[in-house]
Chains A and B, each alone.
Chain A
Amino acid sequence: DVKVTQSSRYLVKRTGEKVFLECVQDMDHENMFWYRQDPGLGLRLIYFSYDVKMKEKGDIPEGYSVSREKKERFSLILESASTNQTSMYLCASSPRFMGANTEAFFGQGTRLTVV
């Protein structure tokens, strides 16, 4: 059974803290993605990675960084958490090749609250 696992389902952090969100996939996928989901705004891409140590900015990278030291793991880092980063964060992975049966698989999400 394919799986994308996010380290926490719920997190509460204080303003100014450094926050790490971890994501692990067991499908040997090249691509990994981080999104945030807010009501009315859909899923917005923060960063993605198409290979180890490779990363590309998405549409809303400000205030975030990422790390991909191993193929199966993609970490999202909030350098100094702020209240406007309170959101649901979703990790996904997909094969590099695009075509039928190359859909992205998602983790269960991390609901982050910054107080």
Chain B
Amino acid sequence: AQKITQTQPGMFVQEKEAVTLDCTYDTSDPSYGLFWYKQPSSGEMIFLIYQGSYDQQNATEGRYSLNFQKARKSANLVISASQLGDSAMYFCAMREGSHNTDKLIFGTGTRLQVFP
């Protein structure tokens, strides 16, 4: 069954340091996509980065990169040079690519707090 696990309820990082948020997933579908979203205290869901199961390279978007280890079924988000504005909830999500299984499921999230 499709499943996403985020084992870190909360993380602290000092400004300008890098931080890794963990995400592991489980699926039997060879075609899938992995997403990371940020939810600040305002409540909006902001898309950060996408990784496809067949992508050869790890995805990067500015200060965000995805450490994709397919054999270990992990898709960790790396935020470089943390900023105070990065304090938020972060959710990992997965979607399977097979026909009629367009479920998009989320993990329980990690609350990141950046301190000066």
Contact = CB atoms under 8 A, between A and B. Distances in A.
A92 to B, nearest CB: 7
Contact of B105 (A45, A50, A98, A108): A45
B108 A96 contact: no
Interface residues of A, number: 30
A31 B106 contact: no
Nearest to B106: A43
Contacts of A74: none
Contacts of A35: 106
A5 B62 CA distance: 28
B26 interface: no
B104 A104 contact: yes
A50 B102 contact: yes
Contact of A108 (B33, B44, B47, B52): B44
A92 B43 contact: no
Given A58-B103, A96-B102, A98-B97, 4 more contacts: A42-B91, A44-B106, A56-B102, A92-B104
B105 A99 contact: no
The 3 closest A-B pairs by CB, nearest first: A42-B108, A106-B45, A43-B106
29 contacts: A31-B102, A41-B108, A42-B91, A42-B106, A42-B108, A42-B109, A43-B91, A45-B104, A45-B106, A48-B102, A48-B103, A50-B100, A56-B103, A58-B103, A59-B105, A92-B45, A96-B102, A98-B95, A98-B102, A99-B52, A101-B50, A102-B33, A103-B35, A103-B47, A104-B47, A105-B47, A106-B44, A108-B43, A108-B44
Nearest to A105: B47
